A and B are shown apart, each in its own frame.
Chain A
Amino acid sequence: MAIVNAPETAASTQAARPITAVDWRRTVRMGLLGGLGMVFIAAIGMFEELDGRPMIVPILSLGYLTVFWVPFVAGYLAAKEETLEGLAPPQKGLRDPLAGLVAGLMGGLALWLLTAFMNAFEWRDVFLKLSPTLLELLTFGNDLGFAFLALVLGSGLLGMLGGALAVLPESGRRIVVGAIVTTFVVAILEVIFVDIFEGIGLEAVTDLVYDINGGLAWGSAIVVAILGGTLAAVSAGASERSRTRWTAMEPAPRRTASLAAFVIVALLTIFLPIILGGIVNELLANVGLFLLMGLGLNVVVGYAGLLDLGYVAFFAVGAYTTAVLTSPISPTLLGEDGSVVREEGLLTIDFFGWEGWAVLGAVLLVAAIAGIVVGTPVIRMRGDYLAIVTLGFGEIVRILFLSDWLAPVFGGAQGVRQIPSAGVEALDLVDLTITGVDPRSIFYFVAVFVAIAIYVSWRLSKSRIGRAWAAMREDETVAEAMGIDTVRAKLLAFIIGAMLASFGGMVFAVKVGSVFPKSFELLVSIIVLVVVIVGGMGNIAGVIVGALVLIGVLGGPTQPGVLQEFAEFKLLIYGALLVYMMLQRPEGLVPSLSRSRELHHEEMQQDAWLASAIEEDDDEEASI
């Protein structure tokens, strides 16, 4: 939104503005959006569903929070003004909370209209979630008149506070936001914190902070808020500073710093799980699982630019190969009458003997073949066609696994069960008995594969084939004219992507202990794609952040995340997040460092570019 090099003459007209001049258009828009948002959140049942979860005892439940953050933010946005470069910063004053108040009032009014509507009509046939309980919540157990006062004035007040936030100087705003965010994060991550503190033997702390029935006790909420605010004040600008310092660093010290960071991360990965509790380990294992698939899809979509919507097929292939080879009741091993005749599968997943490696080899081989089979027919297609055809392939693979025809091998809808778990039993050091079923050993199992996948991705991005992919992604015809064998490059992307996904499938089979077609629906492909897009396509750090944020916090298609309360609304949030990211930050949460440097560079080059552009710049897709 920032206009670079805005004409300076505009500054004079902007500066002299009466203090009560509210930007009505913006305010009304925010009010309407806010109202729509609140009504939507209430009407889809989020309010009611989440009311049972206390946040700050006894005043605030998660339900109220999910509705009433809206007028606050709407109020802030109504009052906020962009500071345009080259212009005087906008004047702040009474007009800001006023704008916030109006936006908040509008939002509250919309919610009250919903309440009145529910009171007058019975519409549950159409809108299932407009329940009496919701009405009760909206009216606070009172009548409509009271609801009007409470909702409209309450939202108005919140909006006004939001608007007031815009008046604060940057530093003050940081403190307030820090306090609010910290409080809610601590409240919402209760399960995680309890798990962690239990893991390190400090249950006493969490017992003190959290109420017995869940939620922050109001006293501890205040303490947490103060801590959060202080932290925000202290850390102000720290990330900005370290980023600039990092960018300015010479290659040699930067390499040392990277190495140090790597060692720290590696040590944390090795030792944290021992300390952490089971829940966190389980969450991290899920993150790792999707990270494996995300990294694989990142090779296909991010590096090679091939939009594969049937990616789950390779995941399924890896999982089924593992299952068939290791389960003692794999359908091929059963007796004539379907009786169990063996105690063990064909192979065990034991990486201290040869059998584990044999399973891994088989999984990779089958995945590579699957990559070739799916890749070959679609390789000459471009863009949308490729997406649609791969989507079809994904479904075909799932239906094959489901089919009666292949049931003698894959078990049809029942799938294959009793896949033995793989453990890192050798880690019995330090009096830690880590067994196969312990989420910790699963975590280590996943972590090893993730480490391999990260290393492979990293090497690929720096390699010759990585450069070929980048060229192909930008302009296939020219890449071909430069002598790049695009067919081979695409096929290779498919194969590598398939192999990384099959790692994921193997881990999944071992972790869950059973595989059946329902685990491999289209949704998995989509979620993995969203992880890659939201994180930052083509960027390893981006995919890691994407997996942590989406899978860790929201959860996977069937895996719970930190916000288990939101499970029912997970896909809704996924969708909303995707839309938001596409509109506001298409490069993802973590655009690569080199990219941000380039963007920076571009700005500096603007003037030089303008000066030298005497001739018109024709370009674009004329046929070569």
Chain B
Amino acid sequence: MSENGQPVLEFRGVNTHYGPVHVLKDVDIEIHAGEIVCLLGGNASGKTTTLKTILGMVTPTSGDIVLDGEIVSGAPTSRIVSAGVSMVPENRRLFKRMTVKENLEIGAYLRDPNDDLDADYERIYELFPRVKERLDQKAGTLSGGEQQMVAVGRALMARPKVLLMDEPSMGLAPVLVQQNFDIIETINEAGTTVFVVEQNAKMALSIADRGYVLMTGRIVLADTAEGLLANPEMRTAYLGEVED
């Protein structure tokens, strides 16, 4: 999408530490309204930390997170969620002993109590008819695919401008992974900006507009999806292709 104008979400030279351990190193990321941007990286490269930093669950030691032109680093998570960022956590992490409905309600926790949530529920049932059938069931008894739907629904209940997705392909059968990414595209087409963090580079790049590659906490590549798909380095390192 358009590269001009102000990004919705931006990392400006962000560094993050866990105690003395340096995890994110001078990270610069820009996400513009309406885009799907992916962050690719192997295990322990710092992908989840990147998302936690956006949400304010980890405070950057230097650099800034900018949301809609406003510096939000150091702000409490509740403020950032209210400002329109919500997350589908790694492995879905539903509240298993609560019903599906209660999980969705928690997603809307920070919404104005006077808001009418019916439209939001309808939207989710439209995206995931299965969720409607399972409303009173405890989330822990759902299948993996259904749990993913509820997790996405839960995040959507916050009416995010930017939806963060942590490894949506993890632990799902290939059919469901495909389905999942289709849903991400649908959500994006409806106007939500998506920032997806993945190990499965091929899958992520198939839907993304642009991508970044993270390696031990440092951004090593940044390009359009086509550019990354064509990049020879990427092809051997992340896309699992043999050089021809």
Contacts and interface: CB of A to CB of B under 8 A. Distances in A.
B95 A602 contact: no
B224 interface: no
B172 A624 contact: no
A518 B158 CA distance: 51
Most chain A CB within 10 A, of B107, B109, B110, is at B109
26 contacts: A468-B106, A471-B106, A481-B87, A482-B81, A482-B86, A482-B154, A483-B77, A483-B78, A483-B81, A483-B110, A484-B109, A601-B137, A609-B141, A612-B146, A613-B144, A614-B143, A614-B173, A615-B145, A615-B173, A615-B176, A617-B171, A619-B147, A622-B90, A624-B48, A624-B90, A624-B91
Contacts of A609: 141-143
B95 A474 contact: yes
B68 interface: no
Contacts of A624: 48, 52, 89-91, 93, 166
The 4 closest A-B pairs by CB, nearest first: A618-B171, A483-B81, A615-B173, A483-B110
Nearest to B166: A624
A464 B166 contact: no
A618 B145 CA distance: 11
A623 B90 contact: yes
B136 interface: yes
A620 B144 CA distance: 12
A481 B90 contact: no
B57 interface: yes
Contacts of A601: 136-138
A613 B166 CA distance: 22
Contacts of B154: 482
A609 B110 CA distance: 32
A474 to B, nearest CB: 4
A407 B156 CA distance: 58
B98 A470 contact: yes
B139 to A, nearest CB: 10
Given A483-B82, A484-B78, A624-B52, A619 B91 contact: yes
Contact of B144 (A474, A480, A482, A616): A616
Given A480-B57, A485-B78, A624-B48, A618 B91 contact: yes
A464 to B, nearest CB: 7
B10 to A, nearest CB: 20
Contact of B57 (A467, A481, A622): A481
Given A598-B138, A601-B137, A464 B170 contact: no
- In which size bucket is the chain B interface? 35 or more
Nearest to A617: B144
A475 interface: yes
Contact of B96 (A467, A474, A481, A612): A474
B92 interface: yes
A478 interface: yes
Given A601-B137, A624-B166, A618 B144 contact: yes
B216 interface: no
A470 B95 contact: yes
Interface string B123-145: 00000000000001110011111
B102 interface: yes
Interface of B: 48, 52, 55, 57, 76-78, 80-82, 86-87, 89-93, 95-99, 102, 105-107, 109-110, 113, 136-138, 141-147, 154, 158, 166, 170-173, 175-176
Contacts of B90: 622-624
Given A470-B95, A481-B87, A615 B105 contact: no
A479 B106 CA distance: 8
Interface of A: 464, 467-468, 470-471, 474-475, 477-485, 598, 601-602, 605, 609, 612-620, 622-624
Given A617-B144, A619-B144, 12 more contacts: A467-B105, A471-B106, A474-B98, A477-B93, A481-B87, A601-B136, A609-B142, A615-B173, A615-B176, A616-B144, A619-B92, A623-B48
Contacts of A479: 106
Contact of B145 (A471, A475, A483, A612): A612
Given A467-B105, A470-B102, A619-B171, A481 B55 contact: yes
Contacts of B92: 619
Given A467-B109, A474-B95, A481 B144 contact: no
B40 to A, nearest CB: 19
A58 B228 CA distance: 95
Contact of A615 (B76, B106, B144): B144
A617 B143 contact: yes
A480 B95 CA distance: 13
Given A483-B77, A615-B176, A602 B138 contact: yes
A594 to B, nearest CB: 9
B91 A622 contact: yes
A609 B147 CA distance: 12
A605 B137 contact: yes
Given A613-B143, A614-B173, A485 B137 contact: no
B158 A483 contact: yes
Given A467-B109, A613-B144, A623-B48, A478 B95 contact: yes
Contacts of B102: 467, 470
B106 A467 contact: yes
B109 A468 contact: yes
B141 A605 contact: yes
B137 to A, nearest CB: 6
A463 B55 CA distance: 25
A474 B77 contact: no
Contacts of A484: 78, 106, 109
Contacts of A613: 143-144
A40 B108 CA distance: 56
A484 B110 CA distance: 8
